[in-house]
Structure formats: C-alpha cells, structure tokens
Amino acid sequence: MNNHALTVAGLTVEIELSRSTVHAVTDVGFTVDRGETLGLVGESGSGKSTLGLALMGLLPAGGRITAGSVKLDGTELVGISDQQLRAVRGNDLAMVFQDSQSSLNPTMTIGDQVAEVVILHRGESRADARARSEELLALVGLPRPAERMRDYPHQLSGGQRQRVMIAIALACEPKVLIADEPSTALDVTIQAQILDLLDELKLSLGMGMVLITHDMGVVANRSDRTAVMYGGRIVEMTDTARLFDQVRHPYTKALLSSIPRLESVPTQPLSTIPGLPPSLTDPPKGCPFAARCTQATATCEEQNPPLDGSEGHRYACWNPVDGPARNLLPITPIIRVPADPARPLLVASNLTREYRVTSRGVFNRRLGTVSAVSDVSLTIAAGETFGLAGESGCGKSTLARMLVGLEQPDGGKVRYEDRDIYALRGKALRVARRDVQLMFQDPFNSLDPRMRVGEILREPLQIQHVGRRPEQNQRIRLALDEVGLPANSVERYPHEFSGGQRQRIGLARALMLNPKVVVADEPVSALDVSVRSQVMNLMKRLQQQRGMSSLVISHDLAVLRYLADRIGVMYLGKLVEVGPVDSVYRAPAHPYTAALIDAIPEPDPTKQTGQSVLRGDLPSPIDPPTGCRFRTRCPLATKVCEEEPEQRDFGGGHVVACHHPLRQPATV
C-alpha cells in the first residue's frame, strides 16, 4: 500500500483567451506523501500558481484541464462534477492563497469567515462553528483570538491575516494543503513564524503539503523534495538536499546562483539570468530554457528533452550540469568608492511622528495616538548607502517620507547639506526636493496607469523646469538605457511591463533629476530571485557611477548585507542598533537584531536557518511598552528593561540601545 496523499500524472492546463491560448501547464506529474512537503519553485510565469489552482479546481475563466490525472488519496478529481468537487475542496484538499488581503472577504468578520467553512463541510451549528473558529485562531497563534473573532481583515497585520488564511484552510483538517507563496513580502520573523506553524500543523495532522514559492531559502529549509518549474513544465525534481548539492538542470543552477546570501561579497556583482521566460501563448519548439541557457546547442532549440534521469533525481536537459551552484557569468568586480564620513549629506535629528486615532462617526472621538517614529537620529554621508531594517509597522516608511520632505515631523529636524528641509521655501525647496528622491515600494501603484512611460519620466523634468523638450527626450533615452530598458518603452503603459521592469521604471524616474540622495523603500521585496539580482546589481552600479548616497529600506537582511555600508535596525518607532554592516552582521549586540539575522532562510539545506526565536507580533503602537519597547518579546528581559535604555558604544561607530547586550561594549 502506497503512502501517497496526492498523485498527479500528465497534467496539462490551457487557458483560452480572446485571441490566443496560454499553455500554462504541460505534462506535469508528481506525488506527495502523507506528512511530506513538496517544494514547487520557479520564476513568475512558470506555471506554479496555475498548477495549484488546477489541483483545487479553481482555474480562471477559459481555463481547463485538457489531459492528465489528479488523485487525492486514490480518488480521481479530474472529470468529477462541480458538486462533488465542492465537497472535496476546502475539506480534504485546501489552499492558502498568496494574497491574504484580497482573498479574505472585507465585509465579513474573521470569526464568521472561519466558521463558514465548518458549517458548510461539517454541518455544525453556528454556535459550535464559532467555538471551533476560536479554537483554530488560537491554534495558528493569533493573539487574543476571542477579540479577533469580531475584527475585519483590514484591522489585522499582514502576518495576522496570513494566520487567518491558514486557520480557514485547516478548519476541516485536510489531507493535502497547497500553500501558494504563504510568506511572500512578509518580514523574516513573521515568515519564520508562519512556516514554523505550517510545519508543526503538517506533522500533527499528518497531511501532505505543496509549498509554492520563488524563495530558494524557504525551499532549502522547509521541503523534503523539490520540483523546479520553467515554461509550464517540471525541469528538475529530487530530494531537496540532493538538488542543492547535485544540480543537474542549468535553470536550477541559475536560480541558485542568483540568490543574495549573507556571505555574498559586496564588491562582486550577483549572478543573473539573462533574458526573459518564454511566452506560454507561443511556447518554443525545443527546450523552453534554450534561449537563456549558456550551453544550449542546436538540439536544445529543436527538441524538447524528456524528464529523465534516475528514479530519485529526474531532470529535463540535453546538456546537464554537475555539482553545486556557482556563479554563471564572468565576474567584473565593482570598484567601491568609499563614503566620506566627514561630509554628512542628510542628517535626521530626534525625529518624531505621531498619528491621532479617532472613532468613526459624527463625534470623531479621539481613541489614542500611534507613535510611528520616536526620537530617531541618523546621518547619511556623501557616497554612503545606509540600510534600514525592521518588521512591518516599525516606522521605516514613515521615516523615509520625512527624510524626503513628503511628511512633516511632529518634532526634530531633517537637514540636507546643513539646511533644514522644512524651513526652506521657493527655489531652495525645489532644489532640495530635486536632490533627494524617493523610490516607492510598489511600482505598480506608484506609476500612473493612464500615463505612458515617456510621460512618467518627463513629469519631474517639467515640474522642476529642467530643459526644453529635445533635451528632456535625450535625458529620457539615457535614463532608459541606464536601467536596461529599450527606447520604445516610452510608448508603453506600466501594465505592459513585468514587475522587474516596472521596478526599473521607478528607479529611472527617481534618477531623472540626477539626485544626490535616493531613498528606496523595499525596492526588491516582491521580485523573483533572478530579477532581484538584476535590480540590485543595477542599483549598485548606478550608485558607483553617479556617486550617489542612498537609504535602502528592506525586511530582507541579505539584501541590505549586500547593498549597505552601514545598517540601522528599527523596532516600534525606535532605532535600537546602528553600525557598520560587517560589525552588525558578524556580531550583533541587540537581541532583536540577532533574531532578525537568525530568521533569514539561507539556500542551504545543511544549515538550520530561517527559524523564528521571536514569539507574537509587534505590540500596538497606540500603547507601546514602557522602557525598552522590545522587552515584551525579548528572552533576556528583566525588571530594569522597564526603564529606557541608553545607547552604548561598541566601537567603530557601532551603537546599541539595550540593557542586556549580547556582547560587551567598548566603554562602560
């Protein structure tokens, strides 16, 4: 008797569009055992999410399974009636969707959404279903579950919404769980908590799990076996440990090579994958990766290789590689121009920002105050990159908006070239705004969908009265060339570009006025690993060529390790540690910084990384803890932590605000 909870064989999915057909998934097969996690990885557009939706019977309009079999615990799901499928979906087969914000019903309370599944599939009374809902919310670690039952999705953080999604998926204790990017764009600590939770529940319930992700670090530490998808096909599949140690497909090797790691050398460009994935409306005749492969031959372009190899390690390649991942392309070192600490360019002093929280209704009663940024000071020198890390809600983006003059602080000052930005008027203010530019977190929402790219790039030049139209056209062409986009991009709209290309457009817009400081808010958080490396290489190269200073905000500490000279760690509105990047990463002194570093999932199955040592979510910024704000989650906290800690000097510009640092300061 086999132990397969899910068996997929020869699955092919097509999506009919008005003028073409998308061959989204082609001849895919795999098994998932009870208690096993199968990692499914690949770039955006490789067919991962479509495969997950096909297994659930949730394909979009025009989508259909044209061939193959899907068996859940031996029962065939392809071809059964909608009524039969509804009885299985959400009961024996469940899914955690990628975007919890859009997947949860904004008009229903959390308690009702979880109870709905139990009522539908188990026929329980409303009272019993709500009791089960509260039990499930407690099971997934949602704080104060009885109170949260009455909340709506918008009242929860991203990590809390993801926990609700998991509670809904597990309500009926499914045999197989499909988790589609369950931790994408979450902080490393919350990501680790979510993945820890899924692992614990998988083992306790004995269910199989398909973990869909583009994060190779997550796969390395969380999956038993891994399948790599490209162009709608599985191109390599084996045990996870063997995949990382004995790579056979060039695409898998390219993915692994392009990951920024903690040990990445900042003077060496990250390896990238040239070109773009193939169009699935007109898939290539031969190997789908041939156009981007460094060792493709004529055979690769003419014949599609079968998924072959040994039973334990299968791969589809005519010219397989051998061994662990290494850089694919010849490396040209980056000539690092050192920052000049004697020339402070942007200085923030004792910045504070608070927001009033009021009740809804005609009386608009004040309920409290959110302390977003509290007494933060930092300096960015000429030619320096300052990295800012911390969980969502700690005040990073609010601080960024104050630094560029988009938000007025309640206290403190921002000085650019020794001039108070908020005291400037007229031409002096326009010059300061021109020299300090913001690269927004979400390029899709920050670019006007009604404007062509040419108009988007021309807009800051027109506002600042820079040049006549011919000169502006020249600047636009140079900017597009600089960020690696074709000249004909000027005629296209933002929605016609990929996520990585839109990020390049956002960078080009920030650079149009030749700024001296760029503030980049999460510039690569939602990009595939290969595209992330391209954008990071581009940012680093342009900074060196232009001699810019920058502040880079990211929850991915491996990204900051590669990009930054110095790093600051924020927690609940305060800077708790600041220092040179090597000093902070090699010997963190604050327990929170150490927890962030421990939570980074590294793409190495031999290392136990990506584990969360923090429990719970950030305390409410409306009522932050007294003294050290981290004390409610700190394993070292004592009575003295109820008092505000003073900054301690650890030498070399490394300072920490902590009563119980992890190592001895330079001065007592």
Task: HSE, CB side, 13 Å, CA atoms: give it for residue 659.
Answer: 17
Instruction: Tell which wins on pLDDT, 251 or 668.
Output: 251
If asked whether residues 528 and 639 sit together in one domain, one would say yes
Closest CA relative to residue 51, chosen from 150, 180, 157:
180
**pLDDT (0 to 100) of residue 329:** 42
- b/e 501-537 (16+ beta carbons within 10 angstroms → b): bbbbbbbbbbbbbebbbbbbbbbbbbbbbbbbbbbbb
Give every CB contact of residue 292 below 8 A, 6+ residues apart in sequence. 251, 254, 273, 274, 275, 276
Token pair 């031999």 is found at 606
Contact indicator for 266, 562 with CB cutoff of 8 Å:
yes
If asked whether residues 329 and 386 sit together in one domain, one would say no
Would you tell me how many other CB atoms lie within 10 Å of the CB of residue 343? 12
Helix 469-482 × helix 499-511 angle, to 10°: 130
Q: Taking 50 as the threshold, does the pLDDT of residue 622 lie above it?
A: yes
Q: How far apart are CA 419 and CA 435, in angstroms?
A: 13
If asked whether residues 422 and 564 sit together in one domain, one would say yes
If asked whether residues 566 and 646 sit together in one domain, one would say yes
**pLDDT (0 to 100) of residue 364:** 61
Task: HSE, CB side, 13 Å, CA atoms: give it for residue 223.
Answer: 33
pTM: 0.81
pLDDT band at 346 (very low <50, low <70, confident <90, very high): very high
In a domain, 106, yes or no: no
Predicted confidence (pLDDT) per residue in 106-163, tens digit: 999 999 999 999 999 988 899 999 999 999 898 887 878 888 899 998 888 777 888 8
- b/e 572-588 (16+ beta carbons within 10 angstroms → b): bbbbbbbbebebbbeeb
In a domain, 208, yes or no: no
Token pair 């557009």 is found at 45
In a domain, 396, yes or no: yes
Predicted confidence (pLDDT) per residue in 399-443, tens digit: 999 999 889 999 999 999 989 998 888 888 888 888 999 988 777
Predicted confidence (pLDDT) per residue in 454-480, tens digit: 999 999 999 898 999 999 999 999 888
**pLDDT (0 to 100) of residue 440:** 83
Predicted confidence (pLDDT) per residue in 39-92, tens digit: 999 887 788 989 999 999 999 889 999 999 999 999 999 999 999 999 999 999
For 627, the 3-state DSSP assignment is: coil
Q: Do strands 37-41 and 436-439 pair parallel, antiparallel, or not at all (unpaired)?
A: unpaired
If asked whether residues 317 and 444 sit together in one domain, one would say no
**pLDDT (0 to 100) of residue 526:** 64
In a domain, 367, yes or no: yes
Tokens found for residue 588 = 């963190």
pLDDT band at 332 (very low <50, low <70, confident <90, very high): very low
| Among 287, 316, 333, residue at a domain's last position | 333
Q: Taking 90 as the threshold, does the pLDDT of residue 238 lie above it?
A: yes
Closest CA relative to residue 438, chosen from 387, 400, 475:
400
Residue type at 274 in one-letter notation:
P
Number of domains in the chain: 2
Closest CA relative to residue 417, chosen from 349, 348, 345:
345
DSSP characters over 323-378: SS----S------PPPPEEEEEEEEEEEEEEEEEEE-SSSS--EEEEEEEEEEEEE
Contact indicator for 57, 41 with CB cutoff of 8 Å:
no
Averaged pLDDT of the chain: 87
If asked whether residues 404 and 551 sit together in one domain, one would say yes
Residue type at 127 in one-letter notation:
A
| Among 304, 333, 362, residue at a domain's last position | 333
Q: CA angle, corner 640, sides to 635 and 645, nearest 5?
A: 90
If asked whether residues 329 and 344 sit together in one domain, one would say no
Question: What are the residues facing 346 on neighbouring strands?
Answer: 380, 416
Q: Taking 50 as the threshold, does the pLDDT of residue 591 lie above it?
A: yes
Predicted confidence (pLDDT) per residue in 284-323, tens digit: 999 999 999 988 999 999 999 999 888 789 999 999 998 7
If asked whether residues 460 and 393 sit together in one domain, one would say yes
Phi-psi region at 596: left, alpha or beta (left = phi > 0; alpha = psi -120 to 50)? alpha
**pLDDT (0 to 100) of residue 328:** 43
Give every CB contact of residue 568 below 8 A, 6+ residues apart in sequence. 378, 386, 387, 388, 389, 575, 577, 578
Q: Give just the sign of the alpha carbon dihedral 578, 580, 583, 586.
A: positive
Question: What are the residues facing 366 on neighbouring strands?
Answer: 358
For 16, the 3-state DSSP assignment is: strand
List, edge to edge, every strand of the sheet that includes 4-16: 21-33, 4-16, 63-72, 75-76
Closest CA relative to residue 603, chosen from 533, 500, 499:
533
If asked whether residues 417 and 321 sit together in one domain, one would say no
Instruction: Tell which wins on pLDDT, 327 or 14.
Output: 14
Tokens found for residue 477 = 């062409």
Give every CB contact of residue 259 below 8 A, 6+ residues apart in sequence. 216, 217, 529, 533, 558, 603
Instruction: Tell which wins on pLDDT, 222 or 188.
Output: 222
- Residue 373 is part of a domain; what is its CATH number? 3.40.50.300
pLDDT band at 212 (very low <50, low <70, confident <90, very high): very high
If asked whether residues 289 and 366 sit together in one domain, one would say no
DSSP characters over 233-283: EEEEEEEHHHHHHS--SHHHHHHHHT---TT--TTSPPP---S-PPPTTS-
Contact indicator for 233, 12 with CB cutoff of 8 Å:
no
In a domain, 130, yes or no: no
Q: Taking 90 as the threshold, does the pLDDT of residue 644 lie above it?
A: yes
Task: Give the CA distances from residue 184 to residues 131, 318, 500, 526, in Å, rounded to whole numbers and listed in that order.
Answer: 30, 33, 16, 7
Q: Where are the alpha helices (DSSP H) in 123-215?
A: 126-139, 145-148, 158-170, 188-205
Task: Give the CA distances from residue 625 to residues 39, 430, 460, 554, in Å, rounded to whole numbers and listed in that order.
Answer: 39, 40, 43, 25
In a domain, 180, yes or no: no
| Among 298, 333, 368, residue at a domain's last position | 333
Residue type at 101 in one-letter notation:
Q
If asked whether residues 329 and 347 sit together in one domain, one would say no
For 262, the domain range is: 1-92+222-333
In a domain, 587, yes or no: yes
**pLDDT (0 to 100) of residue 216:** 83
Task: Give the CA distances from residue 651 to residues 27, 234, 595, 655, 656, in Å, rounded to whole numbers and listed in that order.
Answer: 59, 51, 22, 8, 11
Tokens found for residue 319 = 């010219």
Token pair 């906290």 is found at 637
Closest CA relative to residue 611, chosen from 191, 154, 206:
191
Tokens found for residue 667 = 């001065």
Task: Give the CA distances from residue 107 to residues 110, 112, 150, 230, 499, in Å, rounded to whole numbers and listed in that order.
Answer: 10, 10, 12, 38, 30
Give burial (CB, 10 Å; 0-12/13-18/19+) of 414.
buried
pLDDT band at 355 (very low <50, low <70, confident <90, very high): confident
In a domain, 7, yes or no: yes
Max alpha carbon distance in the chain (Å)? Answer: 79
If asked whether residues 385 and 442 sit together in one domain, one would say yes
Give every CB contact of residue 620 below 8 A, 6+ residues apart in sequence. none
Q: Which secondary structure element, helix H or strand E, spans residue 209, and what is its range?
A: strand 208-213
Contact indicator for 407, 355 with CB cutoff of 8 Å:
no
Rg (CA), the chain: 26
**pLDDT (0 to 100) of residue 26:** 95
DSSP letter at 89 equals B
Q: Taking 80 as the threshold, does the pLDDT of residue 368 lie above it?
A: no
Query: Hey, which bits of 37-144 come out as E strands?
Result: 37-41, 63-72, 75-76, 93-96
Q: Taking 60 as the threshold, does the pLDDT of residue 362 lie above it?
A: no
Would you tell me how many other CB atoms lie within 10 Å of the CB of residue 263? 9
